[in-house]
Amino acid sequence: MSGRTPEGDALTALVLPAFALNGEFLAAAAMITAPHELTPAQWQVLGAVLDGPLPVSEIARRIGLTRQSVQRVANDVAGRGWAEWSDNPRHRRAKLLVPTERGREAIGAIVVEQQEWADAVGARFTAEDLRALTELAGRVVAASRAYRNATRTGPPSGPGADPGPAAARSGA
């Protein structure tokens, strides 16, 4: 972790901001959802079906998680009365997750509070600041991804069917 590059300590400059941001946002999400007895993960899954019932695999696709992960949360959410499973007329297996009225209300309140958070934080920055943050982060991600692609040893990952959300979340 010693600063020995011409650019200064690139490692620190890159990693610490990302971790700090992520940790703070997770904490904010937990603060907002906790009073409604929902976890951030449950909120995300429930929020995905606000605009209409969806099967587990479609929810997973939309929020960028695996079917298996979403399935567990969805079952939990349904078990606690925030949503229900309804039959799918087109597919015998793919039951649809649909929020109950209670779930709909909770999500609505959370969405409002979360927007308040975003507005309050965002108000402290100029549009240019926010744009710069997005642009910089995007470039960093692209640069790291390019490095990973150039460095990887194995074959270039054949066209598997399932492995959608994989590499980006392998660590923690």
Q: Give the binding site for DNA (CB under 7 A).
A: 39-42, 44, 55-58, 64-69, 71-73, 75-76, 90-95, 161-163, 165-167, 169-172
Residue 57 CB contacts under 8 Å (≥ 6 apart), including other chains: 67, 70, 94
- What residue 112 binds from its own copies, DNA, none (CB within 5 to 8 A, per partner kind)? none
> Shortest approach of its own copies to residue 73 CB, angstroms?
12
DSSP string, 21-37: HHHHHHHHHHHHHGGGT
First to last CA, the chain: 21
Closest to 82 in 3D by CA, of 102, 68, 66 = 102
Residues from 90 through 129 that contact its own copies (CB under 8 A): 114-115, 117-127, 129
Query: By the criterion CB under 8 A, which residues form the site for its own copies?
Result: 5-8, 10-11, 13-31, 35, 39-41, 114-115, 117-127, 129-134, 136-141, 143-145, 147-148, 151-153, 167-172
